[in-house]
Structure 1
Amino acid sequence: MVHYNEFDQPIGDEVSGWTPRPRPERVTLNGRFCTIKPLSTEKHGADLIETLLQRSENSIWTYMAAGPFETIEDFIDFLCVQESSADPLHFTIIDHELGKAVGTFSLMHMTPEHGTIEVGWVIYSQLLKRTATATEAQYLLMKYALEDLGYRRYEWKCDALNEPSRRAARRLGFRFEGIFRNALIYKNRSRDTAWFALTDEDWPHQKQAFEKWLRPENFDQRGQQKEALERPNEL
Protein backbone atom coordinates (compact mmCIF):
# COMPACT_ATOMS: atom_id res chain seq x y z
CA MET A 1 0.00 0.00 0.00
CA VAL A 2 1.34 3.43 -0.98
CA HIS A 3 0.89 6.36 1.41
CA TYR A 4 0.62 10.00 0.31
CA ASN A 5 1.23 13.24 2.15
CA GLU A 6 -0.78 16.44 1.93
CA PHE A 7 1.08 17.35 -1.28
CA ASP A 8 -0.02 14.11 -2.93
CA GLN A 9 3.56 12.79 -2.86
CA PRO A 10 4.21 9.09 -2.15
CA ILE A 11 5.92 8.55 1.21
CA GLY A 12 7.17 5.58 3.22
CA ASP A 13 5.31 3.68 5.90
CA GLU A 14 5.09 5.34 9.28
CA VAL A 15 7.40 3.89 11.93
CA SER A 16 5.55 4.63 15.12
CA GLY A 17 7.16 4.51 18.55
CA TRP A 18 10.66 4.07 17.12
CA THR A 19 13.62 4.60 19.42
CA PRO A 20 17.32 4.14 18.62
CA ARG A 21 18.49 0.56 19.10
CA PRO A 22 21.06 -0.42 21.73
CA ARG A 23 24.60 -0.81 20.52
CA PRO A 24 25.84 -4.40 20.52
CA GLU A 25 27.75 -5.49 23.59
CA ARG A 26 30.54 -8.00 24.15
CA VAL A 27 28.11 -10.83 24.81
CA THR A 28 28.41 -14.61 24.69
CA LEU A 29 25.93 -16.45 22.46
CA ASN A 30 25.42 -20.17 22.97
CA GLY A 31 24.37 -22.73 20.37
CA ARG A 32 24.43 -26.49 19.90
CA PHE A 33 27.43 -26.56 17.59
CA CYS A 34 29.28 -23.45 18.73
CA THR A 35 29.63 -20.61 21.18
CA ILE A 36 30.19 -17.02 20.09
CA LYS A 37 32.47 -15.05 22.41
CA PRO A 38 34.01 -11.57 22.29
CA LEU A 39 37.40 -11.78 20.61
CA SER A 40 40.21 -12.13 23.14
CA THR A 41 43.79 -12.37 21.97
CA GLU A 42 44.80 -13.85 25.30
CA LYS A 43 42.10 -16.53 25.30
CA HIS A 44 41.78 -17.28 21.59
CA GLY A 45 45.09 -16.23 20.08
CA ALA A 46 46.76 -19.66 20.20
CA ASP A 47 43.75 -21.37 18.60
CA LEU A 48 43.47 -18.75 15.87
CA ILE A 49 47.18 -18.98 15.10
CA GLU A 50 46.66 -22.68 14.52
CA THR A 51 43.36 -22.56 12.63
CA LEU A 52 43.70 -19.33 10.63
CA LEU A 53 47.45 -19.37 9.97
CA GLN A 54 48.85 -22.87 10.23
CA ARG A 55 45.86 -24.94 9.04
CA SER A 56 44.35 -22.59 6.44
CA GLU A 57 45.48 -21.41 3.02
CA ASN A 58 46.54 -17.81 2.52
CA SER A 59 43.67 -17.53 0.07
CA ILE A 60 41.30 -16.89 2.99
CA TRP A 61 42.78 -13.35 3.11
CA THR A 62 42.39 -12.49 -0.58
CA TYR A 63 39.21 -10.45 -0.11
CA MET A 64 40.06 -9.13 3.37
CA ALA A 65 41.56 -5.71 4.00
CA ALA A 66 44.29 -7.38 6.09
CA GLY A 67 46.56 -10.39 5.66
CA PRO A 68 48.08 -12.70 4.77
CA PHE A 69 50.57 -12.41 7.61
CA GLU A 70 54.27 -13.16 7.29
CA THR A 71 54.84 -13.76 11.00
CA ILE A 72 52.89 -14.87 14.04
CA GLU A 73 53.78 -11.56 15.65
CA ASP A 74 52.11 -9.66 12.83
CA PHE A 75 49.00 -11.77 13.23
CA ILE A 76 48.89 -11.22 16.99
CA ASP A 77 49.19 -7.46 16.43
CA PHE A 78 46.23 -7.71 14.05
CA LEU A 79 44.16 -9.59 16.64
CA CYS A 80 44.98 -7.01 19.31
CA VAL A 81 43.72 -4.21 17.07
CA GLN A 82 40.55 -6.17 16.32
CA GLU A 83 39.99 -6.92 20.00
CA SER A 84 40.19 -3.24 20.99
CA SER A 85 37.74 -2.08 18.33
CA ALA A 86 34.16 -1.10 19.22
CA ASP A 87 32.96 -0.80 15.60
CA PRO A 88 33.64 -3.32 14.15
CA LEU A 89 32.93 -5.35 17.28
CA HIS A 90 34.70 -8.66 16.78
CA PHE A 91 33.61 -12.09 18.00
CA THR A 92 35.28 -15.50 18.02
CA ILE A 93 33.53 -18.70 16.90
CA ILE A 94 34.28 -21.63 19.24
CA ASP A 95 33.51 -25.05 17.76
CA HIS A 96 32.15 -27.37 20.47
CA GLU A 97 33.33 -30.63 18.91
CA LEU A 98 36.85 -29.38 18.27
CA GLY A 99 36.98 -27.37 21.48
CA LYS A 100 38.79 -24.47 19.87
CA ALA A 101 38.37 -21.15 18.08
CA VAL A 102 37.95 -21.73 14.34
CA GLY A 103 37.10 -18.27 13.00
CA THR A 104 35.96 -14.74 13.68
CA PHE A 105 33.37 -12.24 12.47
CA SER A 106 32.01 -8.89 13.57
CA LEU A 107 29.08 -6.53 13.87
CA MET A 108 29.95 -3.23 12.20
CA HIS A 109 28.73 -0.03 10.55
CA MET A 110 26.26 0.37 13.38
CA THR A 111 23.63 3.10 13.05
CA PRO A 112 21.39 2.67 16.10
CA GLU A 113 19.28 5.70 15.21
CA HIS A 114 18.14 4.01 11.99
CA GLY A 115 18.36 0.42 13.18
CA THR A 116 20.88 -0.78 10.60
CA ILE A 117 23.92 -2.96 11.20
CA GLU A 118 26.27 -5.15 9.16
CA VAL A 119 27.95 -8.49 9.65
CA GLY A 120 31.49 -8.33 8.34
CA TRP A 121 35.13 -9.34 8.76
CA VAL A 122 34.00 -12.94 8.28
CA ILE A 123 37.22 -14.95 8.58
CA TYR A 124 36.65 -18.70 8.43
CA SER A 125 39.39 -21.28 8.83
CA GLN A 126 39.38 -24.41 6.70
CA LEU A 127 37.95 -26.21 9.76
CA LEU A 128 34.86 -23.96 9.74
CA LYS A 129 33.96 -23.57 6.08
CA ARG A 130 30.85 -25.43 4.88
CA THR A 131 29.98 -26.77 8.35
CA ALA A 132 26.90 -26.70 10.54
CA THR A 133 28.96 -24.67 12.98
CA ALA A 134 29.39 -21.90 10.41
CA THR A 135 25.66 -21.75 9.71
CA GLU A 136 24.72 -21.75 13.37
CA ALA A 137 27.25 -19.01 14.12
CA GLN A 138 25.64 -16.76 11.52
CA TYR A 139 22.19 -17.56 12.89
CA LEU A 140 23.22 -16.70 16.46
CA LEU A 141 24.70 -13.33 15.52
CA MET A 142 21.77 -12.50 13.23
CA LYS A 143 19.27 -13.36 15.98
CA TYR A 144 21.17 -11.20 18.45
CA ALA A 145 21.07 -8.16 16.14
CA LEU A 146 17.55 -8.47 14.72
CA GLU A 147 15.67 -10.02 17.63
CA ASP A 148 17.51 -9.27 20.86
CA LEU A 149 18.59 -5.73 19.92
CA GLY A 150 15.73 -5.00 17.53
CA TYR A 151 17.62 -3.74 14.50
CA ARG A 152 15.54 -3.32 11.32
CA ARG A 153 18.19 -4.05 8.70
CA TYR A 154 21.09 -6.52 8.73
CA GLU A 155 23.59 -6.11 5.92
CA TRP A 156 26.19 -8.27 4.19
CA LYS A 157 28.67 -6.63 1.83
CA CYS A 158 31.56 -8.16 -0.08
CA ASP A 159 33.85 -7.69 -3.03
CA ALA A 160 31.64 -8.24 -6.06
CA LEU A 161 34.25 -10.71 -7.38
CA ASN A 162 34.06 -12.83 -4.22
CA GLU A 163 31.58 -15.41 -5.48
CA PRO A 164 31.84 -17.73 -2.42
CA SER A 165 30.80 -14.82 -0.19
CA ARG A 166 27.93 -13.94 -2.51
CA ARG A 167 26.73 -17.55 -2.49
CA ALA A 168 26.94 -17.64 1.30
CA ALA A 169 24.88 -14.47 1.61
CA ARG A 170 22.13 -15.83 -0.63
CA ARG A 171 22.11 -19.17 1.20
CA LEU A 172 21.74 -17.42 4.57
CA GLY A 173 18.67 -15.54 3.36
CA PHE A 174 20.15 -12.18 2.44
CA ARG A 175 18.64 -10.53 -0.62
CA PHE A 176 20.87 -9.04 -3.30
CA GLU A 177 20.40 -5.29 -3.67
CA GLY A 178 23.00 -4.25 -6.22
CA ILE A 179 26.61 -3.35 -6.98
CA PHE A 180 28.32 -0.17 -5.77
CA ARG A 181 30.98 0.44 -8.41
CA ASN A 182 34.46 1.65 -7.40
CA ALA A 183 33.31 1.66 -3.79
CA LEU A 184 36.65 0.98 -2.10
CA ILE A 185 40.39 0.70 -2.61
CA TYR A 186 42.16 -2.04 -0.68
CA LYS A 187 45.46 -3.81 -1.17
CA ASN A 188 46.14 -1.33 -4.01
CA ARG A 189 43.19 -2.55 -6.04
CA SER A 190 39.69 -1.33 -6.78
CA ARG A 191 36.66 -2.99 -5.26
CA ASP A 192 33.11 -3.01 -6.54
CA THR A 193 30.93 -3.91 -3.55
CA ALA A 194 27.97 -6.29 -3.71
CA TRP A 195 25.24 -5.36 -1.24
CA PHE A 196 22.90 -7.83 0.42
CA ALA A 197 20.45 -7.30 3.28
CA LEU A 198 17.94 -9.07 5.48
CA THR A 199 15.28 -7.00 7.27
CA ASP A 200 13.14 -7.42 10.34
CA GLU A 201 10.30 -8.25 7.95
CA ASP A 202 12.36 -11.11 6.47
CA TRP A 203 13.55 -12.38 9.85
CA PRO A 204 10.55 -14.46 11.03
CA HIS A 205 10.69 -16.61 7.88
CA GLN A 206 14.46 -16.91 7.91
CA LYS A 207 14.52 -17.72 11.62
CA GLN A 208 12.06 -20.54 10.94
CA ALA A 209 14.29 -21.81 8.13
CA PHE A 210 17.40 -21.74 10.33
CA GLU A 211 15.74 -23.50 13.23
CA LYS A 212 14.28 -26.16 10.96
CA TRP A 213 17.69 -26.77 9.39
CA LEU A 214 19.52 -26.84 12.74
CA ARG A 215 17.28 -29.52 14.29
CA PRO A 216 19.24 -32.65 15.28
CA GLU A 217 17.07 -34.84 13.06
CA ASN A 218 18.28 -32.91 10.00
CA PHE A 219 21.76 -34.44 10.36
CA ASP A 220 22.88 -37.99 9.75
CA GLN A 221 25.39 -39.96 11.83
CA ARG A 222 28.27 -38.33 9.95
CA GLY A 223 26.92 -34.87 10.73
CA GLN A 224 25.85 -34.24 7.12
CA GLN A 225 22.69 -32.30 6.41
CA LYS A 226 19.66 -34.18 5.07
CA GLU A 227 17.80 -31.12 3.78
CA ALA A 228 19.28 -27.85 2.54
CA LEU A 229 18.68 -24.52 4.25
CA GLU A 230 15.61 -22.90 2.76
CA ARG A 231 15.58 -19.27 1.67
CA PRO A 232 12.68 -16.94 2.53
CA ASN A 233 11.19 -17.06 -0.96
CA GLU A 234 11.27 -20.86 -0.83
CA LEU A 235 9.19 -21.17 2.36
Structure 2
Amino acid sequence: MTKTNEYQQQIGESVPDWTPRERPARIGIDGAHCRIEPLDVSRHAADLFEAYGRAPDGSDWTYLFVGPFSDFDTFRDYLTKAEASTDPLHYAVIDSASGKAVGTLALMRIEPVHGVIEMGSVTFSPLLKQTRISTEAQYLLMRYVFDDLGYRRYEWKCDSLNAPSRKTALRLGFEFEGIFRQAIVYKGRNRDTAWYAIINQDWPRVRNAFERWLADDNFDANGKQRASLAQLRDEDKR
Protein backbone atom coordinates (compact mmCIF):
# COMPACT_ATOMS: atom_id res chain seq x y z
CA MET A 1 0.00 0.00 0.00
CA THR A 2 1.36 3.42 -0.98
CA LYS A 3 2.03 5.78 1.90
CA THR A 4 0.80 9.35 1.93
CA ASN A 5 1.62 12.33 4.12
CA GLU A 6 -0.70 14.84 5.77
CA TYR A 7 -1.10 16.59 2.41
CA GLN A 8 -2.18 13.35 0.71
CA GLN A 9 1.04 13.26 -1.30
CA GLN A 10 2.58 9.86 -2.01
CA ILE A 11 5.85 9.35 -0.13
CA GLY A 12 8.47 6.63 0.15
CA GLU A 13 8.59 3.93 2.80
CA SER A 14 10.15 4.87 6.12
CA VAL A 15 13.70 3.73 6.82
CA PRO A 16 13.57 3.36 10.61
CA ASP A 17 16.72 3.86 12.65
CA TRP A 18 18.83 4.58 9.57
CA THR A 19 22.21 6.13 10.27
CA PRO A 20 25.05 6.95 7.88
CA ARG A 21 27.34 4.02 7.19
CA GLU A 22 31.07 3.85 7.73
CA ARG A 23 33.31 4.40 4.75
CA PRO A 24 35.09 1.31 3.41
CA ALA A 25 38.51 0.83 4.95
CA ARG A 26 41.90 -0.12 3.61
CA ILE A 27 41.70 -3.67 4.88
CA GLY A 28 42.51 -7.08 3.48
CA ILE A 29 39.76 -9.65 2.87
CA ASP A 30 40.64 -13.32 2.55
CA GLY A 31 38.72 -15.79 0.43
CA ALA A 32 39.29 -19.44 -0.39
CA HIS A 33 41.12 -18.72 -3.64
CA CYS A 34 42.15 -15.06 -3.48
CA ARG A 35 42.82 -12.15 -1.21
CA ILE A 36 41.62 -8.58 -1.70
CA GLU A 37 44.01 -6.01 -0.28
CA PRO A 38 44.51 -2.25 -0.59
CA LEU A 39 46.52 -1.28 -3.66
CA ASP A 40 50.20 -0.87 -2.79
CA VAL A 41 52.53 0.24 -5.58
CA SER A 42 55.64 -1.15 -3.92
CA ARG A 43 54.14 -4.64 -3.66
CA HIS A 44 51.76 -4.83 -6.62
CA ALA A 45 53.04 -2.71 -9.50
CA ALA A 46 55.47 -5.21 -11.01
CA ASP A 47 53.02 -8.12 -10.76
CA LEU A 48 50.22 -6.11 -12.30
CA PHE A 49 52.30 -4.76 -15.18
CA GLU A 50 53.43 -8.27 -16.02
CA ALA A 51 49.89 -9.67 -15.74
CA TYR A 52 48.34 -6.96 -17.91
CA GLY A 53 51.16 -7.43 -20.41
CA ARG A 54 49.91 -10.94 -21.13
CA ALA A 55 46.99 -9.48 -23.09
CA PRO A 56 47.52 -9.60 -26.88
CA ASP A 57 46.53 -5.95 -27.33
CA GLY A 58 45.21 -2.90 -25.48
CA SER A 59 41.52 -3.64 -25.91
CA ASP A 60 40.98 -4.29 -22.20
CA TRP A 61 41.51 -0.56 -21.61
CA THR A 62 39.09 0.75 -24.26
CA TYR A 63 36.24 1.45 -21.84
CA LEU A 64 38.40 2.61 -18.93
CA PHE A 65 39.35 6.21 -18.24
CA VAL A 66 43.06 5.35 -18.37
CA GLY A 67 45.46 3.14 -20.33
CA PRO A 68 46.72 1.19 -22.06
CA PHE A 69 50.23 1.61 -20.70
CA SER A 70 53.20 0.86 -22.91
CA ASP A 71 55.93 1.31 -20.28
CA PHE A 72 56.32 0.51 -16.62
CA ASP A 73 57.15 4.03 -15.43
CA THR A 74 53.91 5.47 -16.81
CA PHE A 75 51.94 2.59 -15.36
CA ARG A 76 53.59 3.02 -11.96
CA ASP A 77 52.74 6.74 -12.00
CA TYR A 78 49.09 5.85 -12.59
CA LEU A 79 49.12 3.29 -9.78
CA THR A 80 50.74 5.81 -7.41
CA LYS A 81 47.82 8.19 -7.92
CA ALA A 82 45.35 5.32 -7.59
CA GLU A 83 46.94 4.18 -4.32
CA ALA A 84 46.61 7.67 -2.84
CA SER A 85 42.94 7.97 -3.77
CA THR A 86 40.21 7.47 -1.16
CA ASP A 87 37.39 7.58 -3.71
CA PRO A 88 37.83 5.51 -5.78
CA LEU A 89 39.37 3.22 -3.18
CA HIS A 90 41.44 0.73 -5.14
CA TYR A 91 42.14 -2.87 -4.17
CA ALA A 92 44.42 -5.48 -5.69
CA VAL A 93 43.27 -9.04 -6.30
CA ILE A 94 45.90 -11.54 -5.14
CA ASP A 95 45.88 -15.10 -6.47
CA SER A 96 46.34 -17.22 -3.34
CA ALA A 97 48.09 -19.98 -5.28
CA SER A 98 50.79 -17.76 -6.80
CA GLY A 99 50.78 -14.93 -4.27
CA LYS A 100 50.80 -12.45 -7.15
CA ALA A 101 48.53 -9.50 -7.93
CA VAL A 102 46.50 -10.32 -11.05
CA GLY A 103 44.02 -7.44 -11.24
CA THR A 104 42.43 -4.50 -9.50
CA LEU A 105 38.97 -3.18 -8.71
CA ALA A 106 37.63 -0.28 -6.67
CA LEU A 107 34.84 0.94 -4.46
CA MET A 108 33.83 4.39 -5.64
CA ARG A 109 31.21 7.16 -5.55
CA ILE A 110 30.94 6.33 -1.89
CA GLU A 111 27.90 7.92 -0.21
CA PRO A 112 27.75 6.88 3.45
CA VAL A 113 24.79 9.18 4.20
CA HIS A 114 22.59 7.31 1.74
CA GLY A 115 24.24 3.91 1.98
CA VAL A 116 25.18 3.79 -1.69
CA ILE A 117 28.45 2.61 -3.20
CA GLU A 118 29.63 1.64 -6.67
CA MET A 119 31.90 -1.12 -7.93
CA GLY A 120 34.18 0.28 -10.60
CA SER A 121 37.59 0.47 -12.27
CA VAL A 122 37.50 -3.29 -12.75
CA THR A 123 40.79 -4.11 -14.46
CA PHE A 124 41.30 -7.86 -14.67
CA SER A 125 44.31 -9.37 -16.42
CA PRO A 126 44.19 -12.51 -18.58
CA LEU A 127 45.33 -14.42 -15.47
CA LEU A 128 42.10 -13.43 -13.72
CA LYS A 129 39.39 -13.25 -16.37
CA GLN A 130 36.81 -16.03 -16.41
CA THR A 131 38.26 -17.75 -13.36
CA ARG A 132 36.75 -18.74 -10.03
CA ILE A 133 39.01 -16.10 -8.50
CA SER A 134 37.41 -13.29 -10.50
CA THR A 135 33.97 -14.23 -9.19
CA GLU A 136 35.21 -14.66 -5.64
CA ALA A 137 36.88 -11.24 -5.72
CA GLN A 138 33.57 -9.61 -6.64
CA TYR A 139 31.77 -11.59 -3.96
CA LEU A 140 34.25 -10.64 -1.22
CA LEU A 141 33.86 -6.90 -1.75
CA MET A 142 30.10 -7.20 -2.18
CA ARG A 143 29.83 -9.11 1.09
CA TYR A 144 32.00 -6.51 2.83
CA VAL A 145 29.76 -3.68 1.63
CA PHE A 146 26.44 -5.29 2.53
CA ASP A 147 27.20 -7.48 5.55
CA ASP A 148 30.02 -5.61 7.28
CA LEU A 149 29.25 -2.00 6.39
CA GLY A 150 25.46 -2.25 5.99
CA TYR A 151 25.05 -0.32 2.75
CA ARG A 152 21.65 -0.32 1.04
CA ARG A 153 22.64 -0.12 -2.62
CA TYR A 154 25.56 -1.43 -4.67
CA GLU A 155 25.93 -0.05 -8.19
CA TRP A 156 27.60 -1.06 -11.43
CA LYS A 157 27.93 1.44 -14.27
CA CYS A 158 29.59 1.10 -17.64
CA ASP A 159 29.64 2.40 -21.19
CA SER A 160 26.41 1.20 -22.78
CA LEU A 161 28.52 -0.12 -25.68
CA ASN A 162 30.66 -2.26 -23.38
CA ALA A 163 28.94 -5.59 -23.98
CA PRO A 164 31.28 -7.71 -21.79
CA SER A 165 30.79 -5.42 -18.78
CA ARG A 166 27.02 -5.42 -19.22
CA LYS A 167 27.01 -9.21 -19.44
CA THR A 168 29.16 -9.47 -16.31
CA ALA A 169 26.84 -7.18 -14.34
CA LEU A 170 23.86 -9.42 -15.08
CA ARG A 171 25.85 -12.57 -14.35
CA LEU A 172 26.85 -11.23 -10.92
CA GLY A 173 23.23 -10.47 -10.02
CA PHE A 174 22.93 -6.76 -10.75
CA GLU A 175 19.62 -5.60 -12.21
CA PHE A 176 19.54 -3.27 -15.20
CA GLU A 177 17.98 0.12 -14.39
CA GLY A 178 18.39 2.14 -17.57
CA ILE A 179 20.64 4.24 -19.80
CA PHE A 180 21.83 7.73 -18.86
CA ARG A 181 22.39 9.40 -22.23
CA GLN A 182 25.49 11.57 -22.77
CA ALA A 183 26.49 11.06 -19.15
CA ILE A 184 30.28 11.30 -19.56
CA VAL A 185 33.00 12.43 -21.94
CA TYR A 186 36.12 10.29 -21.71
CA LYS A 187 39.07 9.73 -24.00
CA GLY A 188 37.56 12.39 -26.24
CA ARG A 189 34.31 10.52 -26.87
CA ASN A 190 30.78 10.34 -25.56
CA ARG A 191 29.60 7.73 -23.10
CA ASP A 192 25.98 6.75 -22.61
CA THR A 193 26.09 5.00 -19.24
CA ALA A 194 24.26 1.77 -18.45
CA TRP A 195 23.20 1.58 -14.79
CA TYR A 196 22.82 -1.61 -12.76
CA ALA A 197 22.33 -2.20 -9.04
CA ILE A 198 21.86 -4.72 -6.27
CA ILE A 199 19.92 -3.49 -3.23
CA ASN A 200 19.98 -4.91 0.25
CA GLN A 201 16.67 -6.75 -0.25
CA ASP A 202 18.28 -8.60 -3.19
CA TRP A 203 21.46 -9.43 -1.33
CA PRO A 204 20.45 -12.60 0.59
CA ARG A 205 19.49 -14.38 -2.64
CA VAL A 206 22.55 -13.05 -4.49
CA ARG A 207 24.86 -14.02 -1.62
CA ASN A 208 23.42 -17.52 -1.39
CA ALA A 209 23.98 -18.05 -5.11
CA PHE A 210 27.59 -16.86 -4.83
CA GLU A 211 28.31 -19.19 -1.94
CA ARG A 212 26.75 -22.18 -3.68
CA TRP A 213 28.53 -21.36 -6.93
CA LEU A 214 31.94 -21.01 -5.25
CA ALA A 215 31.59 -24.31 -3.37
CA ASP A 216 33.92 -27.09 -4.50
CA ASP A 217 31.02 -29.41 -5.26
CA ASN A 218 29.79 -27.02 -7.95
CA PHE A 219 32.82 -27.91 -10.09
CA ASP A 220 33.67 -31.15 -11.80
CA ALA A 221 37.11 -32.77 -11.99
CA ASN A 222 38.03 -30.51 -14.92
CA GLY A 223 37.04 -27.35 -13.05
CA LYS A 224 33.87 -26.82 -15.09
CA GLN A 225 30.90 -25.36 -13.26
CA ARG A 226 27.90 -27.61 -12.70
CA ALA A 227 25.42 -24.75 -12.23
CA SER A 228 25.70 -21.10 -13.21
CA LEU A 229 25.16 -18.15 -10.89
CA ALA A 230 21.95 -17.30 -12.73
CA GLN A 231 20.64 -20.85 -12.31
CA LEU A 232 21.37 -20.79 -8.61
CA ARG A 233 19.65 -17.42 -8.14
CA ASP A 234 16.63 -18.65 -10.08
CA GLU A 235 16.35 -21.70 -7.82
CA ASP A 236 15.93 -19.38 -4.84
CA LYS A 237 12.97 -17.68 -6.52
CA ARG A 238 10.97 -20.90 -6.67
What TM-score range do you get, normalising by the shorter chain?
over 0.9
Does residue 144 of structure 1 match 2:140? Answer: no
The alpha-carbon deviation at position 233 of structure 1 amounts to: 5.0
Query: Could you tell me which residue of structure 2 aligns to residue 190 of structure 1?
Result: 190
The alpha-carbon deviation at position 133 of structure 1 amounts to: 0.4
The alpha-carbon deviation at position 98 of structure 1 amounts to: 3.0
Query: How do 1:45-64 and structure 2 match up within 5 A?
Result: 45-52=45-52, 54-56=53-55, 57-64=57-64
| Worse-matched range after superposition: 67-76 or 172-181 | 67-76
Residue 150 of structure 1 aligns to a residue whose secondary structure is coil
Query: Could you tell me which residue of structure 1 aligns to residue 24 of structure 2?
Result: 24
Partners of 2:92 and 2:224 in 1: CA distance: 24
Aligned residues: 234
Partners of 1:132 and 1:13 in 2: CA distance: 38
Partners of 1:191 and 1:234 in 2: CA distance: 36
Partners of 2:235 and 2:10 in 1: CA distance: 31
Residue 133 of structure 2 aligns to a residue whose secondary structure is helix
Query: Could you tell me which residue of structure 1 aligns to residue 112 of structure 2?
Result: 112
The alpha-carbon deviation at position 129 of structure 1 amounts to: 0.8
Query: Could you tell me which residue of structure 1 aligns to residue 205 of structure 2?
Result: 205
| Worse-matched range after superposition: 11-20 or 223-232 | 223-232
Q: Percent of aligned positions with the same letter in both sequences? A: 53
| Worse-matched range after superposition: 18-27 or 89-98 | 89-98
Partners of 1:46 and 1:71 in 2: CA distance: 11
Letter in 1 for 2:175: R
TM-score, normalisation: structure 2? 0.96
Query: How do 1:172-183 and structure 2 match up within 5 A?
Result: 172-183=172-183
Partners of 2:204 and 2:136 in 1: CA distance: 16
Letter in 1 for 2:45: G
Partners of 1:104 and 1:94 in 2: CA distance: 9
TM-score, normalisation: structure 1? 0.97
Alpha-carbon displacement from aligned partner over 1:167-206 (angstroms, at most 9, x marks no partner): 0000000000000000000000000000000000000010
The alpha-carbon deviation at position 99 of structure 1 amounts to: 2.5
Partners of 1:6 and 1:224 in 2: CA distance: 58
Query: Could you tell me which residue of structure 2 aligns to residue 14 of structure 1?
Result: 14
Does residue 85 of structure 1 match 2:93? Answer: no
Query: Could you tell me which residue of structure 2 aligns to residue 37 of structure 1?
Result: 37
The alpha-carbon deviation at position 26 of structure 1 amounts to: 0.3
Letter in 2 for 1:17: D
Distance 1:234 1:194, change over 3 A: farther
Partners of 1:138 and 1:109 in 2: CA distance: 17
Partners of 2:122 and 2:13 in 1: CA distance: 33
The alpha-carbon deviation at position 230 of structure 1 amounts to: 2.5
Letter in 1 for 2:14: E
Letter in 2 for 1:174: F
Letter in 1 for 2:229: L
Q: RMSD of the alignment, in Å?
A: 1.1
Partners of 1:179 and 1:109 in 2: CA distance: 18
The alpha-carbon deviation at position 222 of structure 1 amounts to: 2.5
Unaligned runs of 5+ in 2: none
Alpha-carbon displacement from aligned partner over 1:45-90 (angstroms, at most 9, x marks no partner): 11001001x2123111000000011211100000101000000000
| Worse-matched range after superposition: 4-13 or 130-139 | 4-13
The alpha-carbon deviation at position 103 of structure 1 amounts to: 0.3
Unaligned runs of 5+ in 1: none
The alpha-carbon deviation at position 223 of structure 1 amounts to: 2.1
Residue 108 of structure 1 aligns to a residue whose secondary structure is strand
Partners of 1:234 and 1:195 in 2: CA distance: 25
